[in-house]
Amino acid sequence: MEVVILLGGPGSGKGTTAERVRGRLGYIHISTGDMLREAVKNGSDIGRKADLYMKRGELVPDDIMIEIVVERMRRGNKDSKYLLDGFPRTSEQATLLEKSLADENGEISHVLFLDAPSELLIKRLTGRRICRECGINYHVETMRPKKEGVCDACGGELYQRPDDHESTIKNRLDVYGRQTESLISRYKEKGMLKRIDSSVAVDNIVNVVVDILEG
Ligand code: AP5
């Protein structure tokens, strides 16, 4: 089992990059944010608990997160390759991921840190729109759909995530600084971290990521 971690602040492009890389290289994309949003939509126990934190831009407790990620990875086999988008996000999650991989003879092959300045992250998040049906991401300025408010791919309605309003975004950036940023030094010290400039065009980021993963 091979795991690639995509690390980076809210709006750094983890989801966009993972979606484009996954099909090209045969990875399974695990987005903890998407899994939680699905749980909220379904009204499950986990979804009801998670909703309270997500609305405020706070992190969902580690025990819930570890349970859903480990359960998802168990559905694969020893040859599965995962792109983790949004996990781990705390030292506790990183430690438990390493422990769980050791138990399954798996390993973290790369940690890719998508780095962009906060002003750009705020612009990307306030302008993001998502298709209610198929989940594709758009941006009101940089990735506009052909028809406003309508998904090019499936015709579904585009909506704004409730946590993409400016006040919540500021809290998410703050939470990232307090709880997640320390993972950069953790993986740097282990010699696993690759920094990627994610302020450039998506195609350029994807090419860099593919080169690293293929190399
Ligand atoms: P999550 O959904 O993971 O949110 P996030 O980390 O804040 O990341 P985003 O999905 O907002 O951004 P992204 O980096 O994927 O950027 P994207 O590619 O979409 O988590 C949401 C919440 O769930 C958390 O706040 C927390 O409550 C909870 N949660 C999730 N995981 C958790 C965990 N492990 N532990 C505890 N709680 C957890 O791009 C953003 C926009 O920019 C898009 O519009 C896109 O089109 C555009 N864009 C992207 N790249 C480019 C580019 N290169 N050029 C121009 N535009 C671009």
| Tens digits of residue pLDDT in 132-177 | 999 888 999 989 999 999 999 999 999 999 999 998 999 999 999 9
- Direct distance between the N- and C-terminal alpha carbons of the chain, in angstroms, rounded to an integer: 18
| Å from CA of 139 to ligand 1 middle | 13
pLDDT digits (tens, 9 = 90+) for 23-63: 899 999 999 999 999 999 999 999 999 999 999 999 999 99
User: How many CA within 13 A on the CB side of residue 82?
Assistant: 26
The residue contributing the CA closest to ligand 1 atom 29 is 33
pTM, to two decimals:
0.95
Q: Would you name the residues annotated as active-site residues?
A: 14, 89, 128, 161, 172
Return the number of other C-beta atoms located less than 10 Å from residue 78's C-beta. Answer: 9
Give the separation between CA 179 and CA 175, rounded to whole angstroms: 6
Nearest C-alpha neighbor of 2 from the set 99, 109, 100, 93: 109
| Strand pairing report for 158-159 and 128-131 | antiparallel
- 74 and 19 Cβ atoms separated by less than 8 Å: no
Task: Report the separation in Å between the CA atom of 48 and the middle of ligand 1, taken as the mean of its atom positions.
Answer: 20
Cβ 9 under 6 angstroms from ligand 1 = no
